[in-house]
Amino acid sequence: MSTQTQTMALSGSRKRWLKDRAAQMGVTAGGIIVLVALLLIFFYLLYVVKPIFNGANVEPAGQLDLAGSEAPLLLGVEEQNEQAFIFSGDGDVHFYSLVDGGVPLASESLSGDITTAAANDGKPMAAYGRRDGTMQVLAPKFDVSYPDNVRTITPGLTYPFGEAPLQVDEQGRALERLSFASNGEDLLAAAVVAGGDIVLTRFSGKENFLTGEIELTPTQVAIPGLPAQVDQVLVTPSLRFMFVRSGNEVSVYDVRNINKVRLRSVIPMNAQGGNITTMILLSGGNSLMVGNDNGVVSQWFEVASNGKREFTFIRQFEASGPVVHIANEVNRKGFITVSRGGEVDIFHTTGGSHLYSGKLAGEQVSALALSPRNNLLLVAENGRLSTFEVDNEHPEVTWKALWTKVWYEGYPEPQYVWQSTSGSSDFEAKLSLVPISFGTLKAAFYALLFAVPIAIAGAVYTAYFMSPGLRKVVKPTVEIMEALPTVILGFLAGLWLAPLIESHLPGVVLVLVLLPASVLLTAFAWHHLPKRLRNAVPEGWQSLVLLPVVVLVGWACFAFSPAVENAFFGGDARGFLTNELGIGFDQRNSLVVGIAMGFAVIPTIFSIAEDAVFSVPRHLTNGSLALGATPWQTLTRVVMLTASPGIFSAVMMGLGRAVGETMIVLMATGNTPVMDFSIFNGMRTLAANIAVEMPEAEVNSSHYRVLFLAAFVLFVFTFLFNTVAEFVRQRLRDKYSSM
């Protein structure tokens, strides 16, 4: 070999080596980038999700001296936590600046002989009762103006029901204890008057169409079945119930109809080994929180049982000591307690969680309250007001609330519920991930139930029995189905397939039964045809004979569906399912999702499984046939075993595709997060839930972060499925690689 030839050979080898190295480095770099991207997604999801599991944190913010010696009746601050207001029990109202070291801003005093006062648990309002049987309701107001482009807050008072006193007791007896509530226009006042009686007066509001003012019409009634001693009275904001506490017993009155007030029940609500010290209504007025001198706070709300609704003990919380005061959170289902020793505890009812405990005051706490955003705590003690910054953004999200049954307000029993939003500001968020995780697995199960038999059977037949000429047409045709946009499949499933199945339900059942039977009968008939007729069809093309059979049977099933429905189901198969069998039926149900999503998954499973079967070495099949095995025996005992790693991978790839599918389940189901495995009911999946609710979620809210947690759960699902698939595939490969 000449020197020039050797040089060219060496140069070519070096170029190939460089190309090989470049390709190797490119593939390695691509793999590393993919892994890094997955890790970044993983840790970003954790970064967004982590804050929802943080506990509450409380830090001192400041102190100020209070004017007057009377204990505060009502504490509060405006929206921006810049100005505080104090309503005292003797009718004095004071406003303070929290940003200027507690400088007094304004003061007002009510006139008249005030004998009692009450604060509203739900809204910053106070009512003052007088010796002449009247009361006056007032609330703080903060007018915001921008002189010279500087935001200025001006405090003052407003009278929601007019400045004129309201006559609570028609006989003019002095009010000794008072409770009130309002639903917007109407006002309900319950008062213990001189002599020990309780009067209940409802002021019905009606707008004067000429002046626009609300005119109040009072209706007063006597209360039946009163206890001898009354320690506390509460009226719910819905004006539906009144609670009268006498010692450890609470009498529940139905006051919806002021002319038919009745005693519903008398319930001992004290905790075991304790006595009731105080009780309040949780935000929304549906739950009654009862504090005891042994540190136990119990929650009670109305539950339907045995055909009637009764107030039922739900859960209890352990405070740091004897409970003296309880304050509820604003528009959330949390509350704060102060014990006799000044320990403050923060709880949330939905998750049953104890979020904070610490000593923040002495033994003389007279009142406490939270700001409208629940981020500032006010504690009044010995003529001083202490403020504390509260970091408690996501109290409703706990592991228990996400993954276990929770007893929500108004529900008959603990349940898994996903209901993230409502039109009411007092709504109790229900953020259980169990229903939507269940829906994800349910949708994937029915999709695979439809897709796996068709895809694998088709792949095996195409790779093993079909002629090469027909395979060149069938395989690309099936694979090109994967290019169909899933939004088109979801659109067709929701608007065409779902109504079709609903109107031809017997036909669908007939298809599921008669189509496999007709295929078997056709195969049986084909097997008994004369060999001359069978040889007329080339080897590997016999599957074309089934096409007219499938089309004819499918058409016949749907054509005779109305006749079957009239003959056996009284013309209403859906009604028969619901009324006779007790099976619910949603138009967009799991059957629709299974067919539509199965249609989308079939190409993935078919392509991978067909390649696995087709790649089985020919010497294995030829050797089996040469030893006398039939083609079917060779398929089941040689080909399928050898190709099993690839077939299993195909199924797991299809499962991963089904778990992560969004548009089909979004458009073809009712998106109802129910825990029901019925094929005739819908579901909501993790992916569809994220797609539906993420655009409407407030950034960094609990709802927003829980949706990211749902994405993380979906990420973990696919990771686990792929890991298990790879593990099983490797085991199958090691087991059958020696064949």
DSSP string, 291-309: EETTSEEEEEEEEEETTEE
153 located within any domain: yes
Six-digit token pair at 197? 């009686």
- CA atoms of 179 and 173, how far apart (whole Å): 16
Q: Which of 160, 227, 233 is nearest to 190 (CA)?
A: 233
DSSP string, 399-437: HHHHHS-B--TT-SS-B--EE---S-TT---EE-SHHHH
293 located within any domain: no
- CA atoms of 359 and 353, how far apart (whole Å): 19
**CB-CB contact of 182 with 238 (8 Å):** no
602 located within any domain: yes
> Is the pLDDT reported for residue 451 higher than 60?
yes
Q: Which of 220, 246, 266 is the last residue of a domain?
A: 266
Query: What is the average per-residue pLDDT within 133-139?
Result: 89
Looking at per-residue pLDDT, the higher value among 1 and 343 belongs to 343
- CA atoms of 396 and 346, how far apart (whole Å): 12
- CA atoms of 340 and 324, how far apart (whole Å): 6
pLDDT of residue 337: 93
> Is the pLDDT reported for residue 61 higher than 60?
yes
Confidence band for 668, pLDDT divided at 50, 70 and 90: confident
481 located within any domain: yes
> Is the pLDDT reported for residue 709 higher than 90?
yes
> Is the pLDDT reported for residue 696 higher than 60?
yes
144 located within any domain: yes
Note the pTM of the prediction, 2 decimals: 0.86
Q: Percent of the chain beyond pLDDT 90?
A: 23
**CB-CB contact of 662 with 688 (8 Å):** yes
pLDDT of residue 423: 66
Please give the backbone phi and psi of residue 84, each rounded to the nearest 5 degrees, phi first: -110, 155
**CB-CB contact of 203 with 136 (8 Å):** no
Six-digit token pair at 226? 């009163």
Neighbours of 576 (CB within 10 A): 18
Q: Which of 313, 612, 597 is nearest to 482 (CA)?
A: 597
Q: How far apart, in Å, are the Cα atoms of 37 and each of 30, 31, 148, 681, 722?
A: 10, 10, 51, 38, 17
- CA atoms of 511 and 266, how far apart (whole Å): 61
Q: Which of 232, 266, 300 is the last residue of a domain?
A: 266
Six-digit token pair at 166? 């309201």
504 located within any domain: yes
pLDDT of residue 176: 85
Which residues pair with residue 103 across a beta bridge? 97
Handedness of CA 182, 187, 193, 199 (dihedral sign): negative
Query: What is the average per-residue pLDDT within 402-428?
Result: 86
Q: Which helix (H) or strand (E) holds 64?
A: strand 57-65
pLDDT, tens only, 578-588:
888 888 888 88
pLDDT, tens only, 557-568:
989 888 888 888
Q: Which domain range does residue 539 map to? A: 434-736
Query: What is the average per-residue pLDDT within 509-525?
Result: 88
pLDDT of residue 728: 78
Give the CATH number of the domain where residue 535 resides. 1.10.3720.10
Residue type, 635: L
Classify 98 as helix, strand or coil. Answer: coil
Confidence band for 537, pLDDT divided at 50, 70 and 90: confident
pLDDT of residue 53: 87
- CA atoms of 686 and 434, how far apart (whole Å): 10
> Is the pLDDT reported for residue 627 higher than 90?
no
Please give the backbone phi and psi of residue 367, each rounded to the nearest 5 degrees, phi first: -165, 155
Q: How far apart, in Å, are the Cα atoms of 444 and each of 369, 448, 600?
A: 49, 6, 12
Confidence band for 6, pLDDT divided at 50, 70 and 90: low
pLDDT, tens only, 217-234:
888 887 877 887 888 889
> Is the pLDDT reported for residue 436 higher than 90?
yes
Domain count, the chain: 2
> Is the pLDDT reported for residue 412 higher than 60?
yes
405 located within any domain: no
Q: Which of 266, 288, 321 is the last residue of a domain?
A: 266
Q: Which of 575, 732, 595, 531 is nearest to 650 (CA)?
A: 732
Name the pairing type of β-strands 198-207 and 152-158: unpaired
Say if residue 94 is exposed, middle or buried (CB neighbours under 10 Å; 0-12, 13-18, 19+): buried
Query: What is the average per-residue pLDDT within 231-251?
Result: 90
Q: Which helix (H) or strand (E) holds 166?
A: strand 166-167
Handedness of CA 350, 355, 356, 357 (dihedral sign): positive
**CB-CB contact of 145 with 152 (8 Å):** yes
pLDDT of residue 405: 92
> Is the pLDDT reported for residue 209 higher than 70?
no
> Is the pLDDT reported for residue 205 higher than 80?
no
Q: What is the average pLDDT score of the chain? A: 86
Classify 23 as helix, strand or coil. Answer: helix
- CA atoms of 460 and 639, how far apart (whole Å): 9
Residue 120 neighbours by CB under 8 Å, 6+ apart: 126, 127, 180, 181, 182
- CA atoms of 234 and 289, how far apart (whole Å): 11
> Is the pLDDT reported for residue 212 higher than 70?
no
Six-digit token pair at 161? 């029901």
Six-digit token pair at 485? 């946009």
- CA atoms of 245 and 466, how far apart (whole Å): 83
61 located within any domain: no
**CB-CB contact of 584 with 431 (8 Å):** no
Classify 111 as helix, strand or coil. Answer: coil
pLDDT of residue 12: 66
